[in-house]
Amino acid sequence: MKRGKAGMKLMFVIAFVMGALMLLIGGDEIVRPAGAFSDGPPLGRTGAPGEQTCTQCHSGPATGGQFSITPPRKYIPGQTYQVAVQHVNSNTTRQRWGYQLTALAGTTMAGAFATTDGFSQVATGANRDYVQQTFVGSFAGTTGGAGWTFNWTAPSANVGVVSFYAAGNQANNDSGTSGDDIVTTTATSRPLDAPFDFDGDRKTDVGIFRPGPGEWWIRRSSTSQTFAAQFGASNDSIAPGDFTGDGKADIAIWRPASGTWFILRSEDFSFYSFPFGTTGDVAVPGDYDGDLKTDAAVYRPSSNFWFVSKSSGGTDIVQFGAAGDQPVPSDYDGDGKVDFAIFRPSLGQWWMNRSSAGILAVTFGNSNDRTVPGDYTGDAKSDVALWRPSTGEWFVLRSEDMSFYSVPFGASGDIPSAGDYDGDGKWDTAVFRSTDTNWYINRSTSGNQVIQFGVSGDRPIPNAFVR
């Protein structure tokens, strides 16, 4: 009798353990009392570095479904964003849905999750937070797909690229773990950056380069205090950018006579130099490899070759353009990498060799316009844009739908100096008027601003790459 009871106890324990191993989704009546994985899988199943996925227990054939994450393309530290997770599958055998997601910078948790309804929940384990479906949020009996939204608050400081990892279950709702289709996906969000931001507050700083003495004068937007440095000579091309990846633009010049780059580090104001390019080249620095560091690069009009010295290592050499073209590199597809692009003045054409979306050509502007591409609409993609000196008008071709708008701002003789002066993620139209040394800034969120800074003959730093 005792032996029989022990056997029964052993059988009960085995049954309980086997039930606890069932992951994510099953039938309401049987699985919920034993482990209730319909209200979320065990933690650490997103497929992120060091994690497994739900295929450890679930199995089944691929059924042709899609699974996606939609985080913000770029984030501002400490700001809250809505993130969407979506299943789509036309296979009618898929009748229950689940997911688990985490967000990491490298292998470290990045930001915090919060739910906005009863369909998702937040859980913590192994120094990582997760968001996943609830029991109700598994949408039993639903075909075609399912979706969830929740809030993600970005880290309080710039941690670089944040990667979102998720595993999803497109289940058959048969109360078991077989026949389920496990899918995984990733997405990234990059820190918002403003061009010509020398103090790291994500706002463009008013600043000038004085060619005679080779002086840089910068009015830091974070403190309204002025910083000055002597770096360069009158014949140098100014080429500022974040070459060291600390979130602050470095003072930098390219010397056409020798093809040498000189960079003044923002961290400690030490400098380094290296040769890259030759006389006749045009300096076109930018983050071509997407590692959050500006790469030294030149465009060679004589052969239409681009040469990029990648901070991640190696040199890219690409031929793109034709005689008479002007280089207008920028991130036109929003993948965090600067794209090779040219403006053809004779035809008013823009040709963009997008690193993720292929070649795009548009006709926009004329031979007398000044090219001022930038993200004026805040969608993390550069818009084709120009400033017309004869009328002082700005013309912006929206990257979202290729519609355009124009705004009069400036006058003949002004120097276009666009940038994100109010830190809202949208470029602002702006001009420097050398006759009165005033900066006129049309901020997209904070309204118009007039700042007197510089003297006649100074070159506004935000005009560095205007062609």
Quote the strand ranges of 116-240, DSSP E. Answer: 120-125, 128-133, 144-153, 162-171, 181-191, 206-210, 215-219, 226-230, 237-238
Q: Compute the average pLDDT of residues 399-428.
A: 96
At 272 the pLDDT is 98
Give residue-wise pLDDT tens across range 160-203.
889 999 999 999 988 777 789 999 999 999 888 899 999 998 89
Domains of the chain, residue spans: 66-191, 206-463
For residue 256, how many other CB atoms are within 10 A of its CB? 18
Assigned token pair, 363: 């006709």
Q: What is the pLDDT of residues 88-98, one digit of tens each?
A: 999 999 999 99
- The answer to whether 216 and 461 are in contact (CB under 8 A) is yes
Half-sphere exposure of residue 199: CA atoms within 13 angstroms, side-chain side:
19
Q: What is the mean pLDDT of the chain?
A: 90
Res 45 pLDDT > 80? yes
Q: Report the C-alpha gap between 133 and 318 in whole angstroms.
A: 46
What is the domain class of 66-191 according to CATH?
A: mainly beta
Q: Are 227 and 461 in contact (CB under 8 A)?
A: no
* Structure-block tokens of residue 387: 């400033």
Torsion of CA 109, 115, 118, 119, to 10 degrees: -50
- Give tens-digit pLDDT for 344-362: 999 999 999 999 999 999 9
pLDDT of 210 over the 50 cut: yes
pLDDT score for 8: 37
Summarised one tens digit per residue, pLDDT across range 419-460 is 999 988 899 999 999 999 999 999 999 899 999 999 999 999
CA distance 428 to 376: 7
Q: How confident is the model at residue 251 (pLDDT cuts 50, 70, 90)?
A: very high
Averaged over 222-241, what is the pLDDT? Answer: 96
- The pLDDT, as a whole number, for residue 379 is 86
pLDDT at 3 over 80: no
User: What are the tokens at 54?
Assistant: 């739900």
Distances (CA, A) of 212 to 261, 396, 413: 19, 34, 21
- Compute the distance between CA of residue 339 and CA of residue 291 in angstroms, rounded to an integer: 14
Cα-Cα end-to-end distance for the chain: 93
Residue 34, pLDDT above cutoff 60: no
pLDDT at 382: 97
Q: For 206-463, CATH number?
A: 2.130.10.10
